[in-house]
Amino acid sequence: MDKSSKIYVAGHRGLVGSAIYRKLQAEGYTNLVVRSRSELDLTNQQQVYDFFARERPEYVFLAAAKVGGILANNTYPADFIRDNLLIQTNVIDAAYRYGVKKLLFLGSSCIYPKFAPQPMKEEYLLSGKLEPTNEPYAIAKISGIIMCQSYRRQYGFNAISLMPTNLYGPGDNFDLETSHVLAALIRKFAEAKESGAQEVVVWGTGTPRREFLHVDDLADAALFLMLNYDDGEIVNVGVGEDISISELAELVADVVGYRGKIVYDTSKPDGTPRKLLDVSKLTALGWRPRISLRYGIRQTYEWYLSNRATARR
């Protein structure tokens, strides 16, 4: 892939896709192809085929997906499995049919079993039962992985699959009903500070542990692997360290400057007890993250303050 290669970034307005698009632009890639959802419905097979037949991209970053936190996954399970299966099936198949040289598929750490040994190695995939709250989404992502591997085995199609840990950063979704935990905490503490609220309620017990990767680090890893990795086996992308939700809440409160009380609503689900990725495979390939959690939270908080009128909230 060189600077003039025709590159399609699917989902360029989402958290991940926008970061990949920014990274490619910053690195001097000049032939980038993007389409908004209103211009190209990736759940519509004919539209996807027509797009690939017309544009003939050489490389594809498949970052388009329907994503959300525990509440969204619990509330709209049919939407999550249907939309994600349609999007990835249409794009992967069209990429193969219309001569794409290489495709990068973005999965999720939720593909691993709920009680997988920690940290989670790539080989733990399909070794146990999934977390029920996001099973439809996880099943869709697992299907995408197997589809990439199957197209590689049967057709020789060069498709690689990355499994990112929990992501955050500029462009995140701050809607309290559909967001992930870090964006939700930033919004909750920001609003509590501004309103003078005495307490902030956090879902669950605060004991689950999560790993957080800044989306700009993910974009850097995605480009690194697109240029340097050509194997069908999945690759974990994370920082190799985790933090409890209670520690995270305290960190966000400190960054935001909120001094009130933090209360935990134990009637709400915790989700998977721990999700920490083993990133030794990626480290051995020569990549490491650069953005610290505190710095990343501060940057995301400042982005939220500057963009909340137009941010997803």
Q: Residue 232 maps to which CATH number?
A: 3.40.50.720
Task: Flag whether 36 is in a domain.
Answer: yes
Residue 300 lies in a domain: no
Q: Look at the block and give the residue holding tokens 């939270």.
A: 297
Placement of tokens 């993250």 in the chain: 289
Q: Closest Cα partner for 300 from 124, 166, 203? A: 166
pTM over the 0.85 mark: yes
The predicted-structure confidence for 7-57, as pLDDT tens digits, reads as follows: 999 999 999 999 999 999 999 999 999 999 999 999 999 999 999 999 999
Average pLDDT over residues 214-226: 98
* Residue 15 domain-assigned (yes or no): yes
Q: Which residues contact 122 (CB under 8 A, 6 or more apart)?
A: 163, 233, 234, 235, 236, 278, 281
- Domain assignment of residue 256, yes or no: no
Instruction: List residues forming the annotated binding site.
Output: 11-17, 106-109, 141, 164-167, 180, 188, 203, 210, 270
* Statement: residue 69 has pLDDT above 90: no
Is 70 exceeded by the pLDDT of residue 313? no
Instruction: Tell me what pLDDT residue 26 has.
Output: 98
Enumerate the active-site residues: 137
**Residue 221 structural domain:** 7-170+212-239+276-291
pLDDT at 312 over 70: no
The count of structural domains within the chain is 1
Lowest mean pLDDT among 77-86, 129-138, 153-162, 216-225: 129-138
271 occurs within a structural domain: no
Extended strands (E) in the chain = 7-10, 32-33, 59-62, 102-106, 159-164, 166-168, 199-203, 209-210, 212-214, 235-237, 243-244, 261-265, 274-275
Structural domain contains residue 192? no
Domain assignment present for 175: no
**What pLDDT is recorded for position 309?**
80
Mean pLDDT of the 121-131 span: 96
Averaged confidence pLDDT in the chain: 95
pLDDT in tens, 261-311: 999 999 988 877 888 999 999 999 999 999 999 999 999 999 999 998 877
Query: What residues form the annotated binding site for substrate?
Result: 188, 203, 210, 270
Give the Å distances, CA to CA, from 303 to 32, 117, 165, 188, 310. Answer: 25, 36, 21, 15, 11
| pLDDT single digits (tens) 230-254 | 999 999 999 999 999 999 999 999 9
Binding site for NADP(+): residue ranges? 11-17, 106-109, 141, 164-167, 180
Beta bridge partners of 7: 32, 59
With respect to residue 82, please indicate whether it lies within any of the assigned structural domains: yes
